[in-house]
């Protein structure tokens, strides 16, 4: 008989919950203990139901291309809850003007020349720079690089600063000149390697999946992302969940670990540890080890959301579009603004028939 193992998961956000769910589901020889420092599970996921509205105080959707997220929803039996965002016109607010995002672009990469060349968002010089992608060939860099460096080399600064940066920052809430390409958009690196051009490669893939690309790229759940958290919690053994327990430090002893909990005399022994805490918390827990201090150089980005509800007849002009992004790297103050009034179909479907809710994100 195989010896049972005890796995301790530190952090009860969506990463820790997902790890606990699949470990419990896939192995009968593992005892899982989930430790969360606060009084609730879900981490940044936090859905508020108020006055008939469903409001996300944290993330409000996930990219469909992140297949693990959709697979988790399906494994939890929540397929019927999935909804997709609309595919209407979105805008960039730049230099006090609203500029429609050029049709035929994918994450800001121009795949159709006519809409791109007619766009008021870019100067002639900026448009010419984008053609560089067609002639420079693949990069010789084998290691990781920043998202900003990758796109600037191929499409020029103007397309990056005025279009790609606002769109990507609205997803990752960080400066793309410091975001890892391998961690966020590895498929773009593959496209470059296989086709020597992002535009050529993405055009080819779009032609092969034309029908699918007419749909929105973001998905969420009708009743909010908190539904995922609640469903995982319901399927885990309740005795495995430990709230309001803060890990102070962890010691490694031979092939096992000792987990020390604040205000508890008896530590928890574990065969394996899974850390799903923010890097600052992880650094404190393992502060006795020199290797962990590399985390000190990693920067965090804060995000604030404000949800606003209006009568629909008061904001008809906004219903003409799907979203509005406002970000100029040349203005420090505006770097704080990642997404302004993000209105997608899954938001309006989950609210009053006579009202609409939108989110403002800094």
Q: pLDDT tens digits for 37-93?
A: 999 999 999 999 988 888 999 988 898 878 899 999 999 999 999 998 766 677 887
- Is residue 344 predicted with pLDDT exceeding 50? no
Nearest to 329 by CA among 222, 227, 176, 211: 176
CB 30, CB 2: distance < 8 Å: no
Task: Determine the CATH number of domain 5-44+227-297.
Answer: 3.50.50.60
CB 155, CB 164: distance < 8 Å: yes
Q: How are strands ordered across the β-sheet holding 256-261?
A: 247-253, 256-261, 268-270
Judged by average pLDDT, the poorest of 134-138, 274-278, 285-289, 337-341 is 337-341
Q: Model-level pTM? A: 0.80
Higher pLDDT pick, 314 / 165: 165
pLDDT band at 315 (very low <50, low <70, confident <90, very high): low
Task: Determine the CATH number of domain 106-214.
Answer: 1.10.3110.10
pLDDT band at 320 (very low <50, low <70, confident <90, very high): low
Neighbours of 55 (CB within 10 A): 21
- Is residue 147 predicted with pLDDT exceeding 80? yes
Instruction: Report pLDDT digits (tens) over 38-47.
Output: 999 999 999 9
Could you give the 3-state DSSP secondary structure of residue 232?
A: helix
Cα separations (Å) of 104 from 115, 123, 300?
7, 19, 33
The tokens describing 48, both together, are 């508020």
CB 150, CB 188: distance < 8 Å: yes
Nearest to 323 by CA among 359, 353, 362: 359
Instruction: Report pLDDT digits (tens) over 282-300.
Output: 999 998 888 888 777 777 7
**Calpha distance 202→192 (Å, rounded):** 9
CB 196, CB 137: distance < 8 Å: yes
Nearest to 254 by CA among 268, 270, 274: 270
DSSP letter, residue 162: I
CB 17, CB 232: distance < 8 Å: yes
The tokens describing 277, both together, are 């805490």
Instruction: Report pLDDT digits (tens) over 246-261.
Output: 999 999 988 899 999 9
CB 251, CB 257: distance < 8 Å: yes
The tokens describing 155, both together, are 């499409």
The tokens describing 59, both together, are 């993330």
**Calpha distance 152→175 (Å, rounded):** 13
98-102, 202-206, 282-286, 329-333 — which one is most confidently predicted on average? 282-286
Alpha helices in the chain (DSSP H): 14-26, 67-75, 113-118, 124-130, 147-155, 157-159, 165-172, 181-184, 186-195, 198-208, 226-235, 279-285, 345-348
How is 264-302 classified by DSSP, letter by letter?
-SS-EEESEEEE-S-HHHHHHHTTTSGGGGGGGG-----
Domain residue ranges in the chain: 5-44+227-297, 47-87+218-223+304-361, 106-214
Q: Which residue has the tokens 């060349």?
A: 117
Instruction: Report pLDDT digits (tens) over 203-221.
Output: 988 776 654 455 667 899 9
CB 247, CB 35: distance < 8 Å: yes
Domains 5-44+227-297 and 106-214 share a fold: no
DSSP letter, residue 2: P
Whether the CA torsion 38, 40, 45, 49 is positive or negative: it is negative
């Amino acid at each position: 008989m195989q010896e049972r193992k005890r796995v301790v998961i530190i952090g009860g956000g969506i990463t820790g919950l997902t790890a606990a769910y699949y470990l419990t589901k896939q192995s009968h020889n593992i005892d899982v203990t989930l430790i969360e420092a606060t009084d609730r599970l879900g981490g940044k996921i936090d859905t508020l139901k108020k006055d008939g509205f469903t409001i996300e105080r944290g993330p409000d959707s996930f990219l469909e291309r992140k297949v693990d997220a959709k697979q988790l929803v399906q494994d939890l039996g929540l397929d019927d809850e999935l909804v997709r965002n609309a595919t209407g016109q979105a805008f960039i607010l730049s230099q006090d003007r609203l500029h429609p995002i050029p049709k035929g672009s994918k994450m800001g990469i121009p795949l159709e020349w006519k809409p791109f060349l007619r766009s008021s968002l870019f100067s002639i010089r900026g448009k010419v720079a984008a053609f560089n992608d067609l002639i420079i060939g693949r990069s010789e860099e084998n290691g990781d690089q920043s998202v900003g460096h990758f796109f600037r080399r191929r499409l020029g600064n103007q397309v990056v600063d005025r279009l790609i940066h606002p769109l990507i920052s609205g997803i990752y809430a960080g400066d793309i000149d410091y975001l890892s390409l391998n961690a966020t958009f590895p498929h773009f690196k593959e496209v470059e390697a296989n086709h020597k051009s992002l535009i050529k490669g993405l055009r080819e893939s779009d032609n092969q999946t034309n029908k699918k690309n007419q749909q929105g790229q973001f998905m969420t759940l009708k009743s909010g992302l908190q539904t995922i958290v609640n469903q995982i919690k319901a399927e885990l053994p309740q005795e495995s969940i430990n709230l309001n327990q803060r890990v102070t430090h962890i010691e490694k002893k031979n092939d096992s670990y000792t987990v020390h909990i604040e205000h508890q005399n008896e530590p928890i022994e574990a065969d394996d540890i899974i850390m799903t805490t923010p890097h600052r918390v992880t650094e404190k827990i393992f502060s006795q080890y020199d290797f962990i201090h590399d985390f000190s150089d990693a920067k965090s980005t804060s995000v604030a959301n404000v949800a606003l509800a209006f009568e629909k007849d008061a904001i008809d002009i906004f219903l003409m579009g799907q979203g509005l992004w406002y970000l100029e790297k040349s203005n420090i103050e505006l770097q704080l603004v990642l997404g302004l009034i993000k209105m997608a179909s899954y938001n309006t479907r989950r609210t009053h028939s006579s009202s609409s809710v939108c989110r403002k994100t800094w």
